[in-house]
Amino acid sequence: MKTTPETAWKIWIDTGGTFTDCLAIDPAGNKTRIKVLSSSCLRGRITDKLSPGTYRFEASWQYDSAIFKNYTFKLRGTETHSRIGSVDAQQQTITLTDDLPFGQPVDFEITTGEEAPVLAARLLTGTPLDQPLPPINMRLGTTKGTNALLERKGAKTLLVVTKGFKDLLYIGNQQRPSLFQLDIPEPKLLYSEVLEVDERLDSGGNVLETLDLTDFKPKEGPTDYKSVALSLLHSYQNSDHEKQLADWFAGNGARYISTSSELFPFSHYLRRTQTAVVNAYLDPILDQYLTNIRTVLGSAAQDSAALNGGSLQVMTSTGSLAEASGFRAKDSLLSGPAGGMVAATNFAQKLGFSKAITFDMGGTSTDTALVDGQPELKYITEIDGIEFHNPTLAIETVAAGGGSVCWFDGFSLQVGPESAGASPGPACYGAGGPLTVTDLNLLLGKLETSKFSIPIDAGAAISRLDELRADIERKTGNLLGHHEILTGLESIANEKMADAIRKISVEKGINPNAFALVTFGGAGGLHACQLAELLDMDTVLLPYDGGLFSAAGIGEALISTIVSKQILLPWNEASGSIGEWQEVLEKQATAILEKQGITTFETVFYHVYLRFAGQENTVEIPYSGDATLSVFEETYRAQFGYFPANAVVELESVKLKMQEQGPRIEPLSVIQTGQSAQHLAYSKPFLSDLHLPETPVFEWDNLQPGDELTGPSILLNNTSTTYLPKGWKLVIQQGLDAIAWKTQTAQTHAEAQSEEVALQLFTNRFKAIADEMGVQLQRTAFSVNVKERLDFSCALLDAHGELLVNAQHIPVHLGSMGICGRLVREAIAIGPGDVVITNHPRYGGSHLPDITLIAGVFTGDGTCTGYVINRAHHAEVGGKTPGSMPPDATCLAEEGVVIIPQYLVKAGEFQWEALRALFQGGPYPTRSFLSNEADIIAALSALKKGSTQLLKLVENHGLETVQKYMGMLKQTAVLQLRNALRPLQGQVFAASELLDDDHRIAVKISISDNKQIFDFTGTSGAHPNNLNANISILYSAILYVLRLLVDKEIPLNDGLMQDVEIQLPENSFLHPQFSDDPWQCPAVVGGNTEVSQRLVDTLLKAFGLAACSQGTMNNFLFGNEQFGYYETISGGVGAGNGFNGRSAVHQHMTNTRITDPEQLERKYPVRLLEFGIRRGSGGAGRWRGGDGIVRKLQFLAPLQVTLLGQHRRYAPYGMQGGADGLCGRHMLFSNGSDSELPGICSLKVNAGDVLTIETPGGGGFGA
């Protein structure tokens, strides 16, 4: 008989890191829900031995006893195992084929040895091991690929790239992961070997060098690698060479081959290569996993129709389904969260809400996303530091979940980022775990333990709480009550999760108040209402199957596909072909769906991705015919606050989504008021001193539509628990889903919290303001330098103009923010509605391209709360050479437009005409005022965001409280530094270093009780050219090194400078004499980039912290009167005691990204011939210094080139017997010969000339 969907089981499975969630519908239409462990086993506990081989057990599961025969039985934590003869679930007895010794209760596991989805299918269908499964239509989401990626358990992979780029993935974007690191971790590479091939295309896909496979041979045979990734430069334009390579490998026995041009046919060599590697690394793992499941389902055939009358479909990261046979490994990585998003979108629409924010709280993390009709998509994914192209639903993740560890750092309470994981788990799991958020919920009376699948030990949680309480008393002298600690930690956890929601809403200009909060995940219901209060949301949607929501969404998902085409043309050239491209994409999508057996489908969207010429990031809008440009302008203004009308609009790509036609969702009638429900029992608190009332507990399955609960209450079923706080009501809807509404405004309790709690809350709040400013500036900026290279910084100052917190941006900017704010305040009054602009080094500016904006934040009565400040590097501000970094400048005026502190905005009135006259007048005006203006507008937007957020903080908590914790945060930094320097008290440290032109930096550092004196006597006088620093750069370098000495995660603030005294010789090149007349001021552009690095080298040398890193930013500029390009190039890092120096990464005072090779060649008249590690350039030693970079470019047009670097003459020092690193070098091949260029120079180059930049290596440490 032919199997139909009505005669087959429907099983929807989400395999997570710990549990596999399953929803099943049998052929009769009955729904069943179960969870099994993702390790593919069930757990229980042997409690007694009844007779030889027969034991009594306890477990939370009950299944047909007959199915367990011949399952494997194993005692946890031992190698003891046996086979199951029989199980009597009613009597809770188990008989084994072997008689095992028994002394005391012991945990056990039983398993079939099959994949977790197969075990779940057997349990659901009641199928024993010796019988075939019935017909099953299985839909599967899995973390198999994610776990393999995170645990580095993928396949042995060979990567093949174009010659000159074998180190591409090692170098990445050249940024270090954390600003304050001496021991920078190595990048996490997935391939086992990389092989270069001789071939080359230009940026248009034209063949420059034909692929020659005559002598092509990997070190090992093709079949010795489990998988192969192929990625050649510009293959997105012409894939012929990749196809030839793929054919060669296939012909030589390779089974798994991933080609970048097929997986990601777009311009971005780094991401496209990483995409191919990720897919290759995971492909054999996922294929074997799916084959194992497919085999048990009925057939190993590729055709799903052959699966014993059933099918196997796999969930993808975009929220769609794919047949297992056509599934790409990389598409599985966020399939579980995508299932939850699908379910949440449908669930919200079913209840009549088109706007929703999802909140999925699990054990280790929390996922949140925004739904406005449909969930958003994003096309770049980052997992564990690996960034690649992978279309996914736009989900924001924060490291806060039920397993997040609660601890005390000596000053304030902390939650996360460490997690207890599945093992040992929270303290209350009884396996020796730490205090976690789950324990807080248990002890606060929000959890009722009867539905837990494992025994709960509240005593263990109380013991961990008391240990924390004792730790706080020991370190501070304060004995806090249980209630203070528990509610404080709960508040910290809630605010961390609320911040994740703000990132997807408030930071994009969206008010969450207009959205409903859809809550799911095992722990989501315990925090949802409290989060809603923090976000001023008044509606929470609670699905009955919230604990299995990803599985539910997998069951509701539709088969779909997204197809795309990269265009890269100006809008006026491309607009006439958009309809034609839509037809082409529709045909592609139709063929893909028809191949999967879909006969009726619909187009979900056809979107165009627009940007301004020169930018990388795009704006996604629906194609709207002749109105498309108007829609783009409207969208751009809404997102960024302005629209550069004269800029060229570019069409980057078009994308089309098509899906099978699914059932239409008809909204249900919402029940807003109901009858009081009857509770099942009361939950009693475990700690009497909390003085908590008993909380009524409601069994979800006993309720009916229209039943109403009021807080505080607990609502639970077998898979999830919801805590309804006071001030909320909940009404059961049709289908047993629920809606909770806020009935009264929550009261702010911050003033009543202990300082140990409130300090951490306010630290997070202050930092969130700086972070939001940074996001706003990046989003709204126009230039590549700010928007993509991230060469900008944002900070919050207190009312005294002292640095309080900063976003993680550029260290040379950040340390100077406070001193700049104070110098500007002394020069010009900053009142309500004022914004001051400057770049002058006399007033704390670093160099002229770095433009600083500062505004005071005032309450309604005119009281200054603090200041918001940002600094962004403009690639062009005038000067003698394009890029505004002339190496031969002898005064400030020759370096570009000089801005003495002046009002950009005065009492709310913009001063644009004065600014325009300043930038476009004078002897060396800017070459790109439109870009300057756009980035200044972005900086203004960021200040406005920071001001608004700080005033909201004052409104919620009061000015006195806010300023109190500003002071406490700085004082924490003071005390942290004193603790770090205590072993050094009474000591004097000294060092000196020479610039390449013999200018000397000399320092003597004296450490005494509560005083650090930095004496720079012996430092050379003012520099005749541009290597002059100033007081702000000096502050930045000292602040940075002090933060390294603290070596703890604390905000960088001026508290670190409270005990610092700086002694400077008169008119030294570290701070020469400046006047307001730029013609009388020394040039400074190299002082910011180069002297800042050499200052850090000298300070680290004095303290003996590490050998010298490359000690330069390797500034490289080229351009003409039409354009300018600027980049800094990474190098080798100095080694230290116990660690090797990292190769090919930025260190110390900069951390900017480098332009992708394909983007560089597409936008500029250059060809990148080599970008790799300069092997052997790091100094030898017990701990080896990191190697520098080789960057080799050919110029395709006459250009002006500027180079500005150090350590071209004097090598980066080794330490304690370690060897020096190699000096950097510039070589120019022109007119048939090579010549070495100075470290600082400017020259004209011709088409065909080749420049090779070799950056310095780091020094070694130890003999």
- Residue boundaries of the structural domains of the chain: 9-141, 149-310, 404-551+668-747, 560-660, 756-963, 1108-1263
User: What pLDDT does residue 788 have?
Assistant: 72
Residue-wise pLDDT for 207-223, tens only, equals 999 998 888 888 777 77
User: Would you place residue 748 in the very low, low, confident or very high pLDDT band (cuts 50, 70, 90)?
Assistant: very low
Mean pLDDT over residues 758-762, rounded?
85
User: What is the SS3 assignment for 437?
Assistant: helix
User: What pLDDT does residue 349 have?
Assistant: 93
3-state secondary structure labels for all residues of 707-761: EEEECCEEEECCCCEEEECCCEEEEECHHHCEEEEECCCCCCCHHHCCHHHHHHH
Environment class of 579 (CB within 10 Å of its CB; exposed 0-12, middle 13-18, buried 19+): exposed
Decide if pLDDT at 302 tops 50: no
Environment class of 659 (CB within 10 Å of its CB; exposed 0-12, middle 13-18, buried 19+): buried
By the 8 A CB rule, do 1185 and 1218 touch?
yes
Class of domain 9-141: mainly beta
CA dihedral 342, 348, 350, 354 (to 10 degrees): -100
Decide if pLDDT at 310 tops 50: yes
User: What pLDDT does residue 640 have?
Assistant: 72
Decide if pLDDT at 3 tops 50: no
d(CA 961, CA 947): 17
Environment class of 454 (CB within 10 Å of its CB; exposed 0-12, middle 13-18, buried 19+): middle
User: Would you place residue 309 in the very low, low, confident or very high pLDDT band (cuts 50, 70, 90)?
Assistant: low
d(CA 879, CA 897): 7
Q: Do domains 9-141 and 560-660 have the same CATH topology?
A: no
User: Would you place residue 749 in the very low, low, confident or very high pLDDT band (cuts 50, 70, 90)?
Assistant: very low
Q: Are strands 93-96 and 157-162 parallel, antiparallel or unpaired?
A: unpaired
Average pLDDT, the chain: 90
Mean pLDDT over residues 1082-1099, rounded?
94
Kindly report the length of the chain.
1263
Q: Are strands 649-660 and 601-612 parallel, antiparallel or unpaired?
A: antiparallel
Residue-wise pLDDT for 983-1003, tens only, equals 999 999 999 999 999 999 999
- In this structure, which amino acid lies at residue 727? G
User: What pLDDT does residue 615 have?
Assistant: 75
User: What pLDDT does residue 307 have?
Assistant: 59
d(CA 269, CA 253): 27
Q: Which among 411, 501, 406, 400 is positioned nearest to 444, based on CA atoms?
A: 406
User: What pLDDT does residue 384 have?
Assistant: 81
Give the number of other CB atoms < 10 A from CB of residue 986: 8
What Cα–Cα distance (Å) separates residue 360 from each residue in 421, 526, 1181? 17, 11, 49
User: What pLDDT does residue 6 have?
Assistant: 60
User: What pLDDT does residue 453 have?
Assistant: 63
Decide if pLDDT at 641 tops 90: no
Decide if pLDDT at 791 tops 80: yes
The label of the residue with tokens 């002749």 reads: 626
User: What pLDDT does residue 946 have?
Assistant: 93
Q: Which among 1185, 1250, 1244, 1247 is positioned nearest to 1213, based on CA atoms?
A: 1185
User: What pLDDT does residue 422 have?
Assistant: 66
Decide if pLDDT at 521 tops 50: yes
Architecture of domain 560-660 in this structure? 2-Layer Sandwich (3.30)
Which tokens in the block code for residue 197? 């091939």
d(CA 921, CA 776): 30
User: Would you place residue 870 in the very low, low, confident or very high pLDDT band (cuts 50, 70, 90)?
Assistant: very high
- In this structure, which amino acid lies at residue 818? G
Q: Assign residue 610 a region (left: φ > 0; alpha: ψ between -120 and 50; beta: otherwise).
A: beta
User: What pLDDT does residue 299 have?
Assistant: 46
Peptide bond into 424 cis (omega under 30): yes
Residue scoring higher pLDDT (337 or 639): 337
Residue-wise pLDDT for 314-354, tens only, equals 999 999 988 887 788 888 888 888 999 999 999 999 999 99
Which tokens in the block code for residue 1021? 């006088």
By the 8 A CB rule, do 402 and 684 touch?
no
Mean pLDDT over residues 566-582, rounded?
93
User: What pLDDT does residue 1224 have?
Assistant: 98
d(CA 1135, CA 963): 41
By the 8 A CB rule, do 880 and 888 touch?
yes
User: What pLDDT does residue 1216 have?
Assistant: 97
Decide if pLDDT at 400 tops 80: no
Q: What are phi and psi of 1108, to 5 degrees?
A: -70, 135
Decide if pLDDT at 928 tops 60: yes
d(CA 450, CA 684): 12
| Helix orientation angle between 269-297 and 116-125, rounded to the nearest 10 degrees | 30
